[in-house]
Amino acid sequence: MADEPAPAIAGVNDKELAAVAGLSPALPNVRTDDPDQFAEAVRLLVERRAQGQWPGESCDDVAVFVLTNYPRQAGKEHGGVPFLDPARQGTPLLGRLFFSNRHASHGQFIQIPTTPNALLEWLDDNGFADCPVVTVYRDAKEMVTRRHGIHSDPESDRIRDQEPMATTEELRDALLQFHVKRVLTPSGGPAGIWDNPSQYIPGPQPERSIQSELELALSFWFRGVVKVECEDSTNIGRIDVRLLKASADGGGLSYWVILELKVIKSYTHTGVGVGDAANVDSIVEGVQQAGSYRANRLAEVGMLEIYDQRRDKSADLTARQPVVDARASYSPPPDIHVWPVFGSARDARRAGHTGA
């Protein structure tokens, strides 16, 4: 049974509350740190420009955004010009380097002072090596983020010239990109997934590590369309990740997807072996959570995302009878997807993941 609705609060207009709640998907995730907020803000700015066919832009291909604590000072030292709210004012982006605040909403810009291939060297030579930087490539439809300065690992994201939609196909695409870029191998992955990846020893709480990164990734992907939240308490347990979208009647937000996470593994964090039976039990629990929470919250979709940290991934545990029976007890049954997680890029390549 779904939770009972809370009684009305005296003096509070429910319609106004619903209208305010409906704005929340467009708000930034304030729990993230500055480099993540910065990258999200730049992506939103650039994708809106791309979705409008880059109006008012020059024939240049590249734009650069640098997060600095003192954008005005940085700009003045290089003959900068102030900018404010480029999304609203239509400030051209391409061919320029922006010294910006974390919201990419004000600072100073200069013309890109060197060739695109020498941009990182220029930033290094001029004291910006440790600043987060996002490089935008219009023709390639790609943005490359170095969240912790020019020497940090580059993270590539495609620039979408079509606004994301709240569809299961779009969600699957987002989950695929998250898997490939953040979870498939230890390189660049969230801290806490692995303790000793070469021996397939997981971290103490790999599910929590994946959950926090997934919240950020989905918020980044669906900004303005879907509200992503973690650890939602219900009367029957805690939802790992919930995705909310605007109600069809305009009355605030409604549950779209309940997304539960499970990790199956060969060993515990302390190196004790984990057998198939224990992993099957974990999957069954995930199915029950996804199905029950979907029904409890009247969500459209219940999904179980399984991250497979086992050394030997040959056995399909989702086909075991307890899992089949658990799925069959819900209508509709929760969707299940298994994402392989490898202890090295070499193992991933051997398994056929050529991009690892």
Task: Tell me the per-residue pLDDT of 155-204, one tens digit each, with 9 for 90 and over.
Answer: 888 899 988 899 999 999 999 999 998 999 998 778 899 999 999 999 99
Last residue of a domain, one of 98, 126, 158: 158
Query: Would 5 be classed as within a structural domain?
Result: no
Residues 36 and 216 sit within 8 Å (Cβ to Cβ):
yes
Same domain, 184 and 103: no
Same domain, 148 and 184: no
Query: Would 15 be classed as within a structural domain?
Result: no
Mean model confidence pLDDT for the chain? 90
Same domain, 103 and 223: no
Same domain, 134 and 179: no
Same domain, 150 and 249: no
Same domain, 215 and 237: yes
- Quick one: DSSP state of residue 238? E
Can you give the pLDDT at residue 29? 53
Mean pLDDT calculated for residue range 258-279: 98
Same domain, 80 and 146: yes
Banded pLDDT at 6 (limits 50, 70, 90): low
Same domain, 208 and 304: yes
In whole angstroms, how far apart are CA 245 and each of 222, 228, 235, 252, 347? 10, 9, 22, 8, 38
Residue range(s) defining the domain that contains residue 132: 24-158
Last residue of a domain, one of 124, 158, 192: 158
Q: Report the distance separating Cα 308 and Cα 40, nearest Å.
A: 29
Query: Would 149 be classed as within a structural domain?
Result: yes
Query: Would 110 be classed as within a structural domain?
Result: yes
Same domain, 151 and 298: no
Banded pLDDT at 252 (limits 50, 70, 90): confident
Query: Would 163 be classed as within a structural domain?
Result: no
Query: Would 75 be classed as within a structural domain?
Result: yes
Helix (H) or strand (E) holding 280: helix 276-297
Can you give the pLDDT at residue 16? 47
Can you give the pLDDT at residue 11? 55
Can you give the pLDDT at residue 354? 75
Same domain, 150 and 180: no
pTM of the model: 0.79
Number of independent structural domains in the chain: 2
Task: Render pLDDT for 90-146 as a digit per residue (tens, 0 to 9).
Answer: 999 999 999 999 999 999 999 999 999 999 999 999 999 999 999 999 999 999 999
Query: Would 300 be classed as within a structural domain?
Result: yes
Same domain, 173 and 152: no
Predicted confidence (pLDDT) at residue 150 exceeds the cutoff of 50: yes
Banded pLDDT at 2 (limits 50, 70, 90): low
Predicted confidence (pLDDT) at residue 80 exceeds the cutoff of 80: yes
